[in-house]
Amino acid sequence: MPTDSQPPTGAQPPTEKQPPTESRPSTDRQPPTDSHLPVHGTPSVHGKPPADSLLRLEDATVRFGGRAALDSVGLGVAEHEIVCVLGPSGSGKSTLLRAVAGLQPLDAGRVLLDGRDQAGVPAHRRGVGLMFQDHQLFPQRDVGGNVAFGLRMHGASRAEQVRRVKELLELVGLPGASGRAVAALSGGEQQRVALARALAPSPRLLMLDEPLGQLDRSLRERLVVELRDLFGRLGTTVLAVTHDQGEAFALADRVVVMRDGRIAQSGTPLEVWQRPADAFVARFLGFENVAEATVADGVAVTPWGKVPVPPDAPEGTRPLLVRPAGVRLVPAGEGLRCTVTARTFRGTHVAVRLQPEDAPPLEAACALRDAPDVGDVTGVEFDGAEIAVLG
């Protein structure tokens, strides 16, 4: 339970779990749509980050017992950019967030904010806001007291505190809630109060650690849209950590996927979705139709037979991804003969699991009215537009 002597903004961290417990990304794979895509973004960052980034990590390294939790990571976050870091348990994403916040010292490398090296700068002097998954609200203080905490720590006058609290509560959709008890709030309302408190001191950088992880799915989906709109209106620079790919794709200008303490891929949501960097990223995003293939002259030889690939696809032996939408069901006498072993309703479509006679399983996506039954035999053909040759 936080106390007034333990600022929830990051100066006193909660006990860190090593590694943090995280779940596999949702297998309900809905590609980013135009309504979810950012209107601006920063190109993928590889190697040394741009010198004009608000936040820069240069060869950031953290070791726990000889294991590198961060392994020479280079990352830049531009002013007003929203970057979401994804990765499985133990990939290093939570360690990255803590290193930026000043809660975890680096063994090598640098963290720079506005070009200034943060070595030796304590968490409460870095000018960053940090919002944890469990909110860490002060139960003995009302909503207004929680939101005003950072303002008091920065010496704001009483009048300024009252003005700022009122402004922020209206901004997060809780007008007039200043006098309410924290215990009387719903989970979604507590999340909004925690966000208002993190924003109150006008941090240069706002960091979110699984910000919506404790909320039910429908509330998460609604709030992630509200958060993106809010950050856009405020021009807030955000670095967020989440295990939920749908949440990251809806919120971020740029998605960073981590693996074993390193960045596996960095790009806009659409870039990462359409062109995963490798088989690991593709499988992490929930794609199952990944196999080694030999590519030449616009055709790939795969365990499922020959399939078409885009004309600009790199040639040679490479991993290949067939998106479920690219697995077309045709009459049993045509294409690759498969047996339906499972079907799962996904809301917008049905995921159909198919077992060829002498090849790895496939997953197809089709409309409910067109979905075959378990045990049915069907043919499969492949749509080259939904096939990606990976690096």
**What pLDDT digit, counting tens, does each position of 73-83 carry?**
999 999 999 99
Residue 105 has pLDDT above 90, yes or no: yes
Confidence tier at 381 by pLDDT (50, 70, 90) = very high
Query: What percentage of the chain carries pLDDT values higher than 90?
Result: 57
Residue 105 exposed, middle or buried by CB count within 10 Å (0-12, 13-18, 19+)? exposed
Model pTM? 0.80
* String of DSSP letters for 65-134: TTEEEEEEEEEEE-TT-EEEEE--TTSSHHHHHHHHHTSS--SEEEEEETTEE-TT--GGGS-EEEE-TT
Q: Which is nearest to 63 in space by CA: 261, 347, 359?
A: 261
Structure tokens at 167: 């402004």
Confidence tier at 45 by pLDDT (50, 70, 90) = very low
Structure tokens at 230: 């809010």
pLDDT computed for residue 327 by the predictor: 97
Task: Work out the average pLDDT over 274-279.
Answer: 94
Residue position matching structure tokens 């090593």:
18
Q: How far apart are CA 331 and CA 321, in angstroms?
A: 23
pLDDT computed for residue 319 by the predictor: 96
Give per-residue burial for 251-282: e unless 16+ CB within 10 Å, then b: bbbbbbbbbebebbbbbbbbbbbebbbbbbbb
3-class secondary-structure state, position 295: strand
List, in order of start, the domains of the chain with CATH numbers: 55-280 (3.40.50.300), 287-389 (2.40.50.140)
Query: 281 or 131, which is more confident?
Result: 281
Q: Tell me what the pLDDT averaged over the chain comes to.
A: 85
3-class secondary-structure state, position 356: strand
Task: Work out the average pLDDT over 295-313.
Answer: 94
Query: What percentage of the chain carries pLDDT values higher than 70?
Result: 85
pLDDT in tens, 176-226: 999 999 999 988 888 889 888 888 888 899 999 887 766 667 777 777 888
